[in-house]
């Protein structure tokens, strides 16, 4: 049975805007995933990790899929690998990060996958673009927009890319 899932995309290495756009296209091209909505691309300061990283581009995508949670997770990891993601430093710079934020109403706490994403409710870089994409979105019974307003990293939100601008 199809499930609505929210994914968070992030990149701060390489051609980040192009990476996010191509990732959304690849998600939509998958025969068992349909992209329903895509947020604006937020420009945000890095949260955690080593000092001196470039700003991140972050985007939220709502999909409908009949993939099971771990199969969706594996596909997200395949997308990261396709864009040469290297996992050396936790919260370090990366070409692509794809996180499953929600998977329907599923609550799960497994070593490989925790749903909803354990830090999503605290991250303006996820919450703010998500709220713009879906003003009625809820997470843990609270409006995503309300969570975004009180997120500890909200001051790191630098703005949004102009979708009509070319790089």
Convert the pLDDT of each residue in 53-77 to its tens digit.
899 999 999 999 999 999 999 999 9
Give yes or no: 119 in active site: no
- Alpha carbon separation from 161 to 57, 69, 114 (Å, rounded): 9, 31, 30
Torsion of CA 68, 39, 157, 72, to 10 degrees: 10
**pTM score, whole prediction:** 0.93
Q: Of the listed 4, 22, 85, 154, which one is catalytic?
A: 85
Check residue 167 and give its pLDDT: 44
What architecture (CATH level 2) is domain 3-118? Answer: 2-Layer Sandwich (3.30)
Give yes or no: 99 in active site: yes
Give the burial class of 49: count Cβ atoms within 10 A of its Cβ; 0-12 exposed, 13-18 middle, 19 or more buried.
middle
Q: Of the listed 62, 99, 123, 153, which one is catalytic?
A: 99
Distance CA 154, CA 68 (A): 32
Give yes or no: 85 in active site: yes
Q: Indicate the domain borders of the chain.
A: 3-118
| Tens of pLDDT, residues 2-51 | 999 999 999 999 999 999 999 999 999 999 999 999 999 999 999 876 77
- Alpha carbon separation from 140 to 9, 79, 83, 98 (Å, rounded): 20, 28, 32, 21
């Amino acid at each position: 049975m199809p499930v609505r899932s929210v994914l968070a995309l992030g990149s701060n290495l390489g051609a980040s805007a192009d990476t996010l756009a191509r990732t959304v296209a690849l998600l939509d091209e998958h025969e068992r995933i349909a992209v329903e909505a895509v947020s604006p691309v937020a420009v945000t300061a890095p949260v955690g990790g080593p000092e001196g990283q470039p700003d991140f581009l972050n985007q939220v995508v709502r999909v409908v899929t009949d993939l099971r949670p771990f199969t969706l997770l594996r596909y997200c990891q395949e997308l990261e690998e396709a864009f040469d993601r290297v996992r050396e430093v936790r919260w370090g710079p990366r070409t692509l990060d794809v996180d499953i934020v929600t998977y329907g109403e599923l609550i799960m706490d497994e070593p490989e996958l925790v749903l909803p994403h354990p830090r999503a409710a605290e991250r303006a870089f996820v919450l703010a673009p998500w709220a713009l994409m879906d003003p009625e979105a809820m997470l843990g019974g609270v409006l995503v927009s309300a969570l975004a307003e009180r997120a500890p990293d909200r001051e790191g939100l630098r703005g949004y890319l102009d979708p009509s601008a070319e790089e």
